[in-house]
A and B are shown apart, each in its own frame.
Chain A
């Protein structure tokens, strides 16, 4: 059962425009969400995160929006640049009561292509 879903395997946008990557989750215990970016033949790199107590978090060109009632989050990249072309993974975690949490649940990823 896929608890974190990225329904679009790929997305293509023009340089300078907005890229919107979407992610849905089913587990209501998830309360912390992360986005990772991955270039071919490299490991994923952490981009941005958001806690469920917020509905928006911004870092430069990257903004993550969280809609808890819809169990949906999105990553906005404005303006998009050719160097943003990569696979983007959404991930989620649930806080264990009384201790640290270890695991992230990842979506299958969305390949973003930014055309010059």
Chain B
């Protein structure tokens, strides 16, 4: 069964702190993604990675960075957390394949981050 886990379900941090969100998948997927979900705005892509040590900016990368040192792990880093980064953060993964089944992304349970 497909499994994506995120290190924390709920997190409270202070403004200016460096924040690490970890995501691990056990499906040997090449592609991994970080989204944030906010009311009325849907899912917005922050960064994604299609291979180890490879990364690409999504639609809203400002204020974030990522790290992918191993295939199964994709980290989202908030260098200096701000209150407008309070959100639900979702990690997803997908398989690289020539077939369209690879378009399906599988999501973790999410991390609700509050920045005070």
Residues on A close to B: CB < 8 A? 9, 32, 34, 36, 41-46, 49, 51, 89, 93, 95, 100-104, 106-109
- B102 in contact (CB, < 8 A): yes
- B45 in contact (CB, < 8 A): yes
Interface size class of B (residues with CB under 8 A): 20 to 34
- B97 in contact (CB, < 8 A): yes
Nearest chain A residue, comparing its CB with the CB of B105:
A104
- CB pair A43–B108 under 8 Å, yes or no, is yes
Measured between beta carbons, the chain B residues less than 8 angstroms from A108 are 40-42
- B90 in contact (CB, < 8 A): yes
| Interface positions of B from 101 to 116, Cβ below 8 Å from A | 102-110, 112
Q: Knowing that A45-B107, A100-B30 touch, tell me 11 more A-B residue pairs with CB under 8 angstroms.
A: A9-B40, A32-B100, A34-B104, A36-B107, A41-B110, A44-B90, A49-B104, A95-B100, A100-B97, A102-B94, A104-B105
Residues on B close to A: CB < 8 A? 4, 9, 30-31, 33, 40-43, 45, 48, 50, 56, 58, 90-92, 94, 96-98, 100, 102-110, 112
